[in-house]
Amino acid sequence: VRSPSDSSAHKRRAPAPAPDRGVADRLARLRATLKTRGLKHSAVRDLVVEEFLLAGTHISIEDLLARVRRRASGVGYSTVYRTLKLLVESGEAVARDFGGAQSLFEPADTRHHDHAVCVRCGAIREFEESGIEALQEKVARRLGFQVTSHRLELYGVCAECAGKRRD
Amino acid sequence: VRSPSDSSAHKRRAPAPAPDRGVADRLARLRATLKTRGLKHSAVRDLVVEEFLLAGTHISIEDLLARVRRRASGVGYSTVYRTLKLLVESGEAVARDFGGAQSLFEPADTRHHDHAVCVRCGAIREFEESGIEALQEKVARRLGFQVTSHRLELYGVCAECAGKRRD
DNA sequence: TTTTCTGCAAACCATTTGCAGTTAG
DNA sequence: CTAACTGCAAATGGTTTGCAGAAAA
């Protein structure tokens, strides 16, 4: 029984929205975490983490491994799984399941957001709507329910796939 | 790649909130569907469907099988899986995944609703909040996204587990 | 009697783990 | 040197499927 949608994201100040911001920073932070736990730091691990951070968002183990193997062909699935698990445990990554077979991972220290998943092209767009959060709280009060995390996904057709705005 | 959270619920008039309402009715409807497809109707199938409908909501294959086996010990997993798949295909059931290992099934012809899942006791409470739906539409418009279905789950501690209102 | 069921075992697939050898500290 | 890392293969666990026999139509 896995904890559902753990949303204990780090609350770092995250001003710029650029996807590849702070890769070095995060790598350093992770390395510190490793030291704390008496874990080692290796070339392969670095490579996996770096590729993960460069990918930016919503990548599957399989895709990540493909990227990693472009730079080091011998790397195995288990190493990627193990490294991502490490990232999740240390708060640097979050695992998400959008109904597909495999789960997708994204860096953890972004602002809270929900997801819109295109059922045609698979694109995942993030969004934020404080009104929804407020209403969730209202519902929770009505039910006497203490919300610790939530999960909201819209499924449908994105603008590109709908043929709108074809620039 | 499985279709995510298919919300094509039948729009039958569903006035009474009683959980075991219309079991015979649904069984009859399903039987009609079976005939249409040239499928057969069998004692085991009936039993699985009946137990599913009696259970009311959010039951796992494993639990359903347990219930079924109380009345017919020889039934196998595959039959339950196959029967539930049939129910989903014919629009009588919906499969849901709340982050746990196995998926849960619920009857499909209920009103649209979202879920609040208690992380302590596992209880799943349904709720409805039209304001949230409206805001989802607003967000979708903003993104140029055509929503076909959505999924909203609150995770947290239910009133009972929080120790409130211990009657 | 023909086609669809059913139970069982094997197959699948994403993920995890045991093991023996490699490598970091 | 010692403990952690890595790749591989085997193990897991939920779900699916092939097959031979049982049961509907």
Q: Quick one: pLDDT at residue A110?
A: 75
Find out whether A101 and B97 touch, Cβ atoms under 8 Å.
Answer: no
Rounded mean pLDDT, A95-103: 94
- Which residue shows structure tokens 């079924």? B68
| Sequence letter at residue A34 | L
Q: How far is CA B43 from CA B21, B31, B87, in A?
A: 22, 12, 16
Instruction: Using a 7 Å cut-off to protein CB atoms, list the covered nucleotides of chain D.
Output: 3-9, 13-18, 23-25
Helices (H), B10-164: 23-36, 43-55, 61-71, 77-89, 130-143
Q: Which residues of B touch A118 (CB under 8 A)?
A: 145
pLDDT at B25: 85
Bridge partner list, A150: B154
pLDDT, tens digit, for every residue of B54-87? 998 899 999 999 999 999 999 999 999 999 999 9
Q: Which of A7-11, A60-64, B132-136 has the lowest mean pLDDT?
A: A7-11
Distance from CA of B37 to the nearest CA of A (A): 28
Digit-coded pLDDT (tens) for A10-47: 333 333 344 445 788 888 888 899 899 999 999 999 99
Looking at CA atoms only, how far is residue A120 from chain B in angstroms? 11
User: What does the pLDDT look like over A61-87, one tens digit per residue?
Assistant: 999 999 999 999 999 999 999 999 999
The answer for B 13-72 residues in CB contact with A (under 8 A) is: none
